């Protein structure tokens, strides 16, 4: 606990006069660097729902820092976080926090993880796909910060993103994620398989926000996954759409599936998923 307190004390208080975009960028950069510093000091992990679904003290400390700064800088806004934060909104706006996206990768020593943040409009925390006003994603060990949303150009470290190519899914490398237990269930495995076999290649990399950021810059051609909580979806959704890409959701067999990429590929993903509805 002493190490956590020392790491938190080293972080700055942010200026409430910052724009939303600058505030979001500063928050994910600080949260990501805090988590990285804590990992270097040594961490234990707790299992949440499965062997690969874990949480560390770094997740909790990074979310606590973001919550404290938003309480100072945007006191009327709500805050909703993966590690349990749920502050009601007086303004109609809510900040959605994923302090460490890709915690399994993070704990294993991989660089493919990030801190992510979104600003959403009025919505219930249970809504699958509310409006995303702004997204920020920071991958500390790559020192890459993606930012974008309606009214905010989609950028990587300040440089504009070209956005995903509008190409058929069969021409694109596609990122996705599905846990082994879901592959045992036909209602989830069949839609996933129907979409996966349409792609030129498949990548399962372990961080949805890192994947979506790379869709926005064109490094990954398209992306799809089911049952995304808001903190896994809204940061990347804002950045992809600001870069000129397309996002969509579709209900299949009682699950909500999420897709992002160019218009053609997203349409093909949605159609493939829907083709596996069980009667």
Which residue ranges make up the annotated binding site for Mg(2+)?
82, 98, 101, 232
Burial class (CB in 10 A: 0-12, 13-18, 19+), 204: exposed
Phi, psi of 137 (to 5 degrees): -135, 130
Binding-site positions read 82, 98, 101, 232
Phi, psi of 117 (to 5 degrees): -150, 140
Answer whether 147's CB lies under 8 Å from 128's CB.
no
Answer whether 215's CB lies under 8 Å from 177's CB.
no
Question: CB-hemisphere CA count at 13 Å for 113?
Answer: 22
Element (H, E) at 252: strand 246-252
Tokens of 4: 């956590």
Q: How far is CA 29 from CA 62, 101, 115, in A?
A: 10, 13, 7
Residue whose entry in the numeric block shows the structure tokens 């062997």: 51
User: Of 66, 68, 1, which Cα lies nearest the Cα of 38?
Assistant: 1
H helices of 119-258, in order, are 180-183, 186-196, 208-217, 230-242
CA distance 116 to 250: 24
């Amino acid at each position: 606990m002493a190490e956590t307190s020392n790491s938190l004390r080293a972080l700055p208080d942010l200026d409430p006069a910052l724009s939303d975009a600058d505030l979001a960028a500063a928050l994910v950069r600080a949260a990501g660097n805090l988590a990285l510093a804590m990992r270097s000091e040594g961490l234990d992990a707790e299992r949440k729902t499965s062997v690969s679904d874990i949480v560390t003290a770094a997740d909790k400390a990074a979310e606590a820092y973001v919550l404290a700064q938003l309480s100072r800088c945007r006191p009327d806004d709500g805050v909703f976080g993966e590690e349990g934060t749920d502050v009601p909104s007086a303004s109609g706006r809510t900040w959605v926090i994923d302090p460490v996206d890709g915690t399994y990768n993070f704990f294993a020593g991989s660089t493919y993880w990030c801190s992510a943040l979104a600003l959403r409009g009025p919505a219930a925390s249970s809504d699958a796909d509310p409006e995303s006003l702004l997204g920020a994603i920071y991958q500390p060990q790559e020192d890459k910060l993606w930012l974008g949303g309606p009214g905010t150009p989609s950028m990587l470290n300040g440089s504009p993103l070209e956005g995903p190519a509008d190409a058929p899914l069969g021409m694109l490398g596609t990122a996705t994620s599905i846990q082994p237990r879901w592959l045992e269930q036909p209602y989830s495995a069949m839609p996933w398989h129907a979409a996966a076999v349409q792609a030129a290649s498949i990548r399962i990399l372990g961080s949805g926000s890192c994947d979506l950021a790379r869709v926005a810059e064109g490094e990954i051609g398209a992306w799809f996954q089911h049952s995304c909580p808001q903190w896994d979806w809204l940061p990347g959704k804002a950045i992809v759409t600001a870069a000129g890409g397309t996002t969509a959701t579709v209900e299949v067999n009682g699950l909500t599936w999420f897709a992002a990429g160019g218009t053609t590929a997203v349409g093909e993903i949605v159609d493939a998923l829907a083709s596996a509805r069980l009667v």
